[in-house]
Structure 1
Amino acid sequence: MKDQETHHHDQYGDWPPADGRHEDTAWQDPASYPRYRPQQYAQQPYEQPYPQPYEQVAAHVVTGTQTHPADGREAGPEAPAVPGYVVPEVPVSAWSIDTRRSTWIGRSLVLCVLLVQAGLSFRLGGRAFAAEAYYLAPGHHRIGHSGVYPVVAKAADAVGGLAAARSLSLLFMLGVTALLYAMTSRMFNERAGLAAAGLFAVVESTELLGSLATADAMALFLIAAAAWALVRTGRSHPSLALLAAPFAALAPATKSVAVLYLPSLVVLAVLSAYPYRGARAFLRGLFFGAGTLLLLGAAAYLSGGLDGLTSATTGRAHGTDPALDVLWRSAEWGGLVLLVAVGGAVDYVRRSRMGEMPWATGDTPGAVRRTALGLLMCGTALLAPVCQAYLNDDVSLFKHVGFGLLFAAPMAGLGISRLVGAHFRYPQLGIMVWVGVLVVGMAQTQTLYRPPDSGQMVNTLRKVVGKDGRYLAEQAEIPAYYLADSTRRDQWHGTRDIDFTDKSGEHHTGPDGFRRAVRAGWFDAIVLNGDVTPGTDKAITDALHGNSGYRLLAVLPSTDAYGSTTYRIWVKR
């Protein structure tokens, strides 16, 4: 027993301590630590337990600049200090790499946006609105005197009817979204372009214009093409701005409201080139403005004047809708996107370097140019609402709002991009805004898109009309379009105006003209529904009351954009 204690003492020293201290506190005195005796540990041959290939990889341990073999032998001077694997340098963001892969990713996302837009427009259907029939019917009968769009619409209608004409509008609107993406990506960055396209694709006006066979979609496409051409050539020679002039000049010839946005395009031509061309950017505005005016002048000379360009803008008659109501409706249809655009513009003025692009280097546009660009893009969105509020008229306002949103969308896309933050830090905020715009847009289209239920009315009239009659209808465009195979367009008269000449040669206009024409038996059939021109309808019904020359043929319930209505059809005895 004593030998064991002696061996323990020789091996570990005095342990436990001889002074009687407790074992739990003995560690506090370094002098009481056990003495280490290395001679008691004999070196044993190292056996490598790991199979190949790990045996080869673990044969050396890299420390500093020396390589020490695992078996304990001294390292030779020839052993290199090379690690087994080197981690490549990682860019700050995948969006910073302009490669074919990133390009195709962006285009694939744009394709998804376009598919969503097409689905939202395709879900809207029904029979033709009066506005659609207005464009399509002149395209059939008066091609040379009805503007640009009816000629194009006639070709589509001849191939596939109303569905083909509406599909043409959808193609134009899909082109608008694609051009918006390209323009915004050029102005700011890829993320802003995708966000701008995503927002614009789901707003109310985009959904409706893609489902209506009217001239609005084509005119908006031409404006988008002009804006894209100006931004795309901003870093090139100033004379290349002339490439955008044909698109800009053709837009008012398609839809007169487009003339409101020509000044904005001129300013955009300057601002898009100023960071790269300096004062020479003003030459771009001069080239573009002069080229556009020259083409417009030539078109006016060939067509006989500029009356068509001002008929729906400055020369338009004042209506009866209160200005505040017009502005409120405009805010309902485009206010959310405009609000996001204003936020993006304010942040763009505050910070020239975009936080979502930490890799960006080089000079940035000055504060004056950034402020001017923000005012231009957001202010242009207010042109149609302010103009129609001045005219006290909300006719087609839900469509005209989309023209201004085309300019506000790039700033809205920038606002979404900065709201999400660098490296997609807060994607839920961007998703929340997009879903809000989507839901609001879908709800508004369900309210606004109510095609007239005109099937029974057209079928009833088909039995009593012919090539030699004269017909009066409150929405004459609808029966004129659907009965084009059995009547001519000039046989149909609307209820908005009339110039009736009685037997004595005296001319009568307005409600009195309609009253006298009905009493004289001037029309062979009369169709009223009481929605569009109630004052004229009252004068006509008063003339029909007790009139033995007409009989009531049918009373047909229907629905249209105004709600429930009733078609009343009188025919001449």
Structure 2
Amino acid sequence: MAAPAREVAATSSRSSRPARERLLRLLPLAAVLLLQAVLSLRLSNSAFQDEALYLYYGHWTIDHWLNGADLYSNPSAWFTGAPQLYPVLAALLDSVGGLELARLFSTLCLLSATAAVHWTANSLFGRPGQVRVGVFAALVFAVSGPVLVLTHFATYDAPSYAAVAWALAVGVWVACGERERSRWWAVSVGGLLALAVLLKYASAIDAPFVLLAVAASSLGASRRWRGLMTSLVAGSAAIAVLALSAATWARPLVQGVIDSTIRRQSLAPETTAQLLGRVVSDAGPMIALGLLGGLLVLRSRPALGAVLLVASVAAPLYQVHTGESVSLHKTVVLGLVFGAPLAGRLCAALVDRWWGTPLVAAALLGSLVHGASVSERIFTSWPDTAPLAQALAPIVRSTPGIRIAGENPEPLQYALQEQTQPWQWVSTYDGAFRYEGLSDLPAFERALSDGQLGVVFLDGSSDIGRRLEPRMASLGYTQTTVVRTPDGGHEWVVWQPSREDPVD
């Protein structure tokens, strides 16, 4: 071979080697992401109440924007995230591919969050040429039960938490990098934090921790100043975006933020001991690894260790403080965004010792088994409403404009959206129904006596429903069917008017 040809071949070989090495370093992360996808996509159930609510209101909002459809409700006053953002996007996805496509969007969001956790851990604790800290962190995050649930769950949470994870990853990358990076990267961190808060207001609890972690992540005098400046620029950008939003398109949301998040009343209160038990049950092994890793980091980098430790438990402990049990497992995911890198640091330190490798293997395997079990339990904790939707479908088709009342009606409202209009649906929530100047139970009793409700389905999940069911026959209604879930663990009683009075 001629000399020039040999030189070209050598140059080509040298240039392709780093590419191959980068690809090989990404293979463990790819395996973690594949495992997360498989474990989450195996979960199956009909739409959860919140999923159905957001998708339905997203469709309704689009109809209002395009066709001027009347909005009979004001979700801005009680949604826990901006109704104009995620619900509209999810509804567009639902129009194309149904609930599964909307859930797949969440899958992509949480898979990207796992990649961000991997990047964060490597930026903070990785050694040159090593990626095991990030792989361990990604694995701890990916196999936790709450993460697996949200990876296949069409609500605000997945995109909001992914934005938090990427804000942290980009922020520490800028602060810890060898080279000075553009201030625009810091601005992007602020934009991600603002997006996370707009998508889900409760994510605001972790925005300060992202900024503190970025400020504390730098090493040496020059980089410490870089981390502080990155944090200040990112925080200023986030405040600017949120302030501008509050002054313009999001102005109607301000009172809703206060009522739905800051002054929110507990929907299902439990004691502190019960709530802490739930947190441990949902993600105990992963939280324990993070806490132990935090203690390890405290020894060498006390400021960073303290910030990540507090951030890893701040969101779930705040909800425990409020006494609210609803969606408690979601706050655990926010904590793991900060706790998983600490767990990765612990695992990487242990495998450097001969006795630590089997310990880490056992801990990670136990976490995987625990997460798979917890995710299955959470994802099957609500009843499969598909049989009830099938039972109601011929009734609403044969009687257009019929008023439909029931407990937790959102999944049915979503499932039957092509056959019904929003005004047809009546729920048994306190304060949700008014009739003839009455509200709640008296309003239902009068409306039922007048034959104004064409079909009623009850399962005893609300106080009004439990008090109505024994009186349905005396109020002029006949039990027409009993619908059970496929596993037989839940049932609804369907009632229709006994007489053929006209329904206005």
Out of 261, 273, 280, the residue aligned to residue 313 of structure 1 is 261
Instruction: For 1:110, give the aligned amino acid.
Output: L
Q: Structure 1 CA distance, aligned partners of 2:219 and 2:421?
A: 55
Q: Is the 8 A contact 2:133 2:347 kept in 1?
A: yes
Query: Counterpart in 2 of 1:289?
Result: 235
**Over residues 480-533 of structure 1, what are the superposed CA-to-partner deviations in whole Å (9 max), with x where a residue is unaligned?**
111111112332222213355544xx3x334344334433433222111113x2
1:248 and 2:197 aligned: no
Q: Structure 1 CA distance, aligned partners of 2:418 and 2:411?
A: 13
Out of 329, 335, 346, the residue aligned to residue 278 of structure 2 is 329
Change (3 A) 1:335 1:501: closer
Instruction: For 1:525, give the aligned amino acid.
Output: V
Q: Structure 2 CA distance, aligned partners of 1:273 and 1:452?
A: 49
Aligned partner of residue 382 in structure 1, secondary structure: helix
1:180 and 2:124 aligned: no
Instruction: For 2:170, give the aligned amino acid.
Output: A
Q: Structure 2 CA distance, aligned partners of 1:225 and 1:282?
A: 18
1:547 and 2:492 aligned: no
Q: Structure 2 CA distance, aligned partners of 1:499 and 1:478?
A: 17
Q: Structure 2 CA distance, aligned partners of 1:490 and 1:418?
A: 60
Out of 369, 378, 381, the residue aligned to residue 448 of structure 1 is 378
Within a 5 Å distance, the mapping from 1:534-573 to structure 2 comes to 535-548=463-476, 550-558=477-485, 564-572=489-497, 573=499
Q: Structure 2 CA distance, aligned partners of 1:238 and 1:515?
A: 66
**Over residues 260-280 of structure 1, what are the superposed CA-to-partner deviations in whole Å (9 max), with x where a residue is unaligned?**
111111212311346443345
Q: Is the 8 A contact 2:445 2:475 kept in 1?
A: no
Query: Counterpart in 2 of 1:48?
Result: none
Q: Which moved more, 1:143-152 or 1:400-409?
A: 143-152
Query: Counterpart in 1 of 2:298?
Result: 349
The CA deviation at 1:311 is: 4.2
1:269 and 2:188 aligned: no
Q: Structure 1 CA distance, aligned partners of 2:404 and 2:431?
A: 13
Query: Counterpart in 1 of 2:71?
Result: none
Aligned partner of residue 321 in structure 1, secondary structure: coil
Q: Is the 8 A contact 2:435 2:443 kept in 1?
A: no
Change (3 A) 1:308 1:274: farther
Query: Counterpart in 2 of 1:529?
Result: 459
Change (3 A) 1:307 1:543: farther
Aligned partner of residue 384 in structure 2, secondary structure: coil
Query: Counterpart in 1 of 2:68?
Result: none
Out of 147, 150, 153, the residue aligned to residue 212 of structure 1 is 153
**Over residues 458-489 of structure 1, what are the superposed CA-to-partner deviations in whole Å (9 max), with x where a residue is unaligned?**
11211222552322121211111111111123
Normalised TM-score (structure 2): 0.83
The CA deviation at 1:208 is: 0.5
Q: Structure 2 CA distance, aligned partners of 1:270 and 1:429?
A: 33
The CA deviation at 1:200 is: 0.9
Out of 110, 113, 116, the residue aligned to residue 29 of structure 2 is 110
Q: Structure 2 CA distance, aligned partners of 1:193 and 1:519?
A: 64
Q: Structure 1 CA distance, aligned partners of 2:442 and 2:313?
A: 40
Aligned partner of residue 405 in structure 2, secondary structure: strand
**Over residues 334-390 of structure 1, what are the superposed CA-to-partner deviations in whole Å (9 max), with x where a residue is unaligned?**
22122212222222233x4xxxxxxxxxxxxxxxxx212112212112222222222
The CA deviation at 1:567 is: 0.7
**Over residues 220-271 of structure 1, what are the superposed CA-to-partner deviations in whole Å (9 max), with x where a residue is unaligned?**
1111121112112114358341111111111122122211111111212311
Q: Structure 1 CA distance, aligned partners of 2:34 and 2:27?
A: 11
Query: Counterpart in 1 of 2:405?
Result: 472
Q: Is the 8 A contact 1:121 1:208 kept in 2?
A: yes
Change (3 A) 1:305 1:445: closer
Aligned partner of residue 485 in structure 2, secondary structure: strand
Change (3 A) 1:518 1:498: farther
- Answer 1 or 2: higher relative contact order, Cα 8 Å, separation at least 6: 2
Q: Structure 1 CA distance, aligned partners of 2:363 and 2:259?
A: 38
The CA deviation at 1:316 is: 1.0
The CA deviation at 1:431 is: 1.1
Q: Is the 8 A contact 1:200 1:409 kept in 2?
A: yes
**Over residues 33-66 of structure 1, what are the superposed CA-to-partner deviations in whole Å (9 max), with x where a residue is unaligned?**
xxxxxxxxxxxxxxxxxxxxxxxxxxxxxxxxxx
Larger Rg computed on CA atoms: 1
Normalised TM-score (structure 1): 0.74
Q: Structure 2 CA distance, aligned partners of 1:545 and 1:384?
A: 47
Q: Structure 1 CA distance, aligned partners of 2:224 and 2:86?
A: 39
Q: Is the 8 A contact 1:498 1:514 kept in 2?
A: no
Query: Counterpart in 1 of 2:45?
Result: 126
User: Which blocks of at least 5 consecutive residues in structure 2 are unaligned?
Assistant: 1-16, 66-74, 76-82, 500-504
**Over residues 432-458 of structure 1, what are the superposed CA-to-partner deviations in whole Å (9 max), with x where a residue is unaligned?**
111010011111122222152322211
Q: Is the 8 A contact 1:470 1:492 kept in 2?
A: yes
Q: Which has the higher helix share?
A: 2
Within a 5 Å distance, the mapping from 1:119-268 to structure 2 comes to 119-143=38-62, 146-189=83-126, 190-234=131-175, 235=177, 236=180, 239-240=183-184, 241-268=186-213
Out of 402, 420, 435, the residue aligned to residue 487 of structure 1 is 420
Q: Is the 8 A contact 1:180 1:224 kept in 2?
A: yes
Q: Structure 1 CA distance, aligned partners of 2:25 and 2:259?
A: 42
Instruction: For 1:186, give the aligned amino acid.
Output: S
Change (3 A) 1:336 1:443: same
Q: Structure 1 CA distance, aligned partners of 2:426 and 2:320?
A: 30
Q: Structure 2 CA distance, aligned partners of 1:426 and 1:103?
A: 27
The CA deviation at 1:175 is: 0.6
**Over residues 53-89 of structure 1, what are the superposed CA-to-partner deviations in whole Å (9 max), with x where a residue is unaligned?**
xxxxxxxxxxxxxxxxxxxxxxxxxxxxxxxxxxxxx
Give identity over the alignment, percent: 28
1:518 and 2:448 aligned: yes
Aligned partner of residue 233 in structure 1, secondary structure: helix
Q: Structure 2 CA distance, aligned partners of 1:312 and 1:420?
A: 45
Change (3 A) 1:314 1:500: closer
The CA deviation at 1:559 is: 6.4
Change (3 A) 1:256 1:520: farther
Q: Structure 2 CA distance, aligned partners of 1:478 and 1:121?
A: 21
Q: Is the 8 A contact 1:321 1:394 kept in 2?
A: yes
